[in-house]
Structure 1
Amino acid sequence: MYSPSRRTVGAASLLAAAISFAGLAGGVAQAVPAHTAPAAGSVAAAPFTPPGCRQSIATPEFIDKYNSVGGKDVLGCPTTGEMSTPDGKAQFMYFQDDRTGADSAIYVIGPRSAPGRPAFLITDRASTRGHGIFTKWRNSGFERGSYGYPTQDAVDSGAGYSAQQFHGGSLDNR
């Protein structure tokens, strides 16, 4: 079986790694629903391309957040790859739902090497008036603007709108 600690890798090891990577270890394929990415902790957590999308999602934190909010059914397709912010404090991806036109972003905060980095969703999805949180945050300058980085996901207010906390204050979709 393939061992990542070995310095030399023979053809048999490469074949075993490919089989293991594809989820075929033991000759049994593991089914994954077409609309969801494989679990980040699984062997098959390599780049995932949602059905009908061109862009892949590669990092476990992005895959986990994408799955936890409903994947393509909620966010649509990625419109960018994973990118770093200019100050290097976070990585992000943008998404757009072709059915609703809602723009969204997932931000993973912290250095790439840090374990357990938090991932936050910023979205226009819940907005029915065109004043979505993502649009307001984008218009303020994204993470470089007065609101800065997100510190939590949007929370339903119970009064028909959502609010989200950022380092520099709160935004809502009213």
Structure 2
Amino acid sequence: MKPLNFFFLGMLSFALCASTHAAEPYGKIGEKYAALGGHGGALGLPIGDETNAPFGGRFHDFKMGSIDWHPQIGQAYEVYGAIGGKFHELGNAQFGYPITDESTTPDRRGRYNHFRSVQLPGKPESSIYWTPETGAHEIHGLIRDAWAKSGWERGELGYPTSDEFQDGAFRRSNFEHGYIQWSQNTGTRIVKAGVAHDAPRDIHLRSALSTDGWAPISGWVDIVMKPNGDYVFSGHVHNAGAVNIRYSLAAAVVTPSGQSFGFGINGHRVDGTETVFGRHRDHNWNQANNDPRIAANWNSVAEGTLSWRLVASATITSGIENFIDSTAREAFQKLNRSANASLGGQIAKFYMNLLSTL
């Protein structure tokens, strides 16, 4: 009597179980499965039964992939291999329902599937592209639209090499020969590898200056930065009041990635009307220099924004010095209590009374 071949029996039991628990595909999914070669096709044997999918669709898993169907799309389409793996990683139908079978790209180098998000307004489309060199990566939204307009994979950027990700204030997808960024404020921008930037040759940031508190000073700050690292920091501050004021200004250009480039004026005095002789109500400055960090980070600097803070303290010639108050009323009340006898104090009291009538 020959000994039993337990390996053969095990394989036979597995096949019997599989045939018992896996239902044959039917309907639109069954039609697609048969068109792809059925059991002998690229998807292999079915796993389990056809099942409900999110947002009113259906799917059936197979050994090598899946077939998904949604009534709004009409036809059933397969997703398998590395693209199928990425599709599963992205949440399957949460990413979108396939609207193509996996197909060969026009340049014959890669493979792709297109998808549609039936649950979103406008039912936007997205894609997953794969090559042996880049792997499988998704692309969607306005970045996908910009890539399509540039010629898809045969355009200047080539195939995607990343999924979409957050890049400071931007959304971004990388490609073989550059990247595409998008933000609500700037829209989409294509940046080719080896090209410094499609940003302007220099950036010019300017803002009006004022204080939230009591100090009657105002003006402007202006910063020009160039790709070689040169910059010009200039501005103007005017004192329109009676009290002499010493002010400090801190300004910074902040990039989307969080880098900052700082500029400042520290403790400069602008005179009020209490200074009779040699009065200087205005301060103008123009500082030029070079910062190598600007050149080294130009792509990010070119998207920078200007922020600033202006702090002021009063310096009264009759003896009240060096205080900073958070509100106008508190500041002038202090002047009223401490300097009634001086010309500056009397003027401050007048301003306090005037303020109380506003």
**TM-score normalized by structure 1?**
0.65
Match for residue 127 of structure 1? none
Match for residue 70 of structure 1? 91
1:164 offset after TM fit, Å? 0.7
Task: Measure, in 1, the Cα distance between the counterparts of 2:102 and 2:152.
Answer: 16
Q: Aligned to 2:180, what secondary structure does the other structure show?
A: strand
Contact 2:115 2:126 in 1 (8 A): yes
Matches of residues 68-147 of structure 1 in structure 2 within 5 Å?
68-74=89-95, 76-98=96-118, 99-100=120-121, 101-110=123-132, 118-124=135-141, 132-147=142-157
Inter-CA distance 45–22: structure 2 relative to 1 (3 Å threshold): farther
Aligned AA for 1:173? W
Inter-CA distance 46–146: structure 2 relative to 1 (3 Å threshold): closer
Which blocks of at least 5 consecutive residues in structure 1 are unaligned? 4-11, 112-116, 125-131
Say which of 65, 78, 96 aligns to 1:57. Answer: 78
Q: Aligned to 1:150, what secondary structure does the other structure show?
A: coil
Inter-CA distance 21–138: structure 2 relative to 1 (3 Å threshold): farther
Q: Aligned to 2:84, what secondary structure does the other structure show?
A: helix
Deviation digits for residues 17-61 of structure 1 (CA, Å, limit 9, x no counterpart):
97179389xxxx85797438778xxx6334421554533224221
Contact 1:79 1:95 in 2 (8 A): yes
Inter-CA distance 34–60: structure 2 relative to 1 (3 Å threshold): farther
Query: What do you get for the CA RMSD once the two structures are aligned?
Result: 3.4
Match for residue 45 of structure 1? 64
Aligned AA for 2:107? D
Inter-CA distance 146–21: structure 2 relative to 1 (3 Å threshold): farther
Contact 2:159 2:176 in 1 (8 A): yes
Percent identity between matched residues is 23
Say which of 156, 169, 173 aligns to 2:178. Answer: 169
How many residues of Structure 1 are paired with residues of Structure 2 in the alignment?
Answer: 141
Runs (4+) off by over 3 Å: 15-18, 29-39, 43-47, 50-53
More RCO (CA 8 Å, sep 6+): 1
Match for residue 6 of structure 1? none
Deviation digits for residues 88-129 of structure 1 (CA, Å, limit 9, x no counterpart):
211001112132322211011129xxxxx72100111xxxxx
**TM-score normalized by structure 2?**
0.34
1:151 offset after TM fit, Å? 1.1
Match for residue 114 of structure 1? none
Matches of residues 19-34 of structure 1 in structure 2 within 5 Å?
19=19, 22=22, 34=52
Rg comparison, structure with higher value: 2
Contact 2:161 2:174 in 1 (8 A): yes
Contact 1:148 1:168 in 2 (8 A): yes
Q: Aligned to 1:147, what secondary structure does the other structure show?
A: coil
Say which of 148, 155, 162 aligns to 1:152. Answer: 162
Aligned AA for 1:122? I
Deviation digits for residues 67-101 of structure 1 (CA, Å, limit 9, x no counterpart):
11122123x22111111112221100111213232
Q: Which has the larger strand fraction?
A: 2
Which blocks of at least 5 consecutive residues in structure 2 are unaligned? 1-7, 25-46, 184-358
Q: Aligned to 2:82, what secondary structure does the other structure show?
A: helix
Q: Aligned to 2:161, what secondary structure does the other structure show?
A: coil
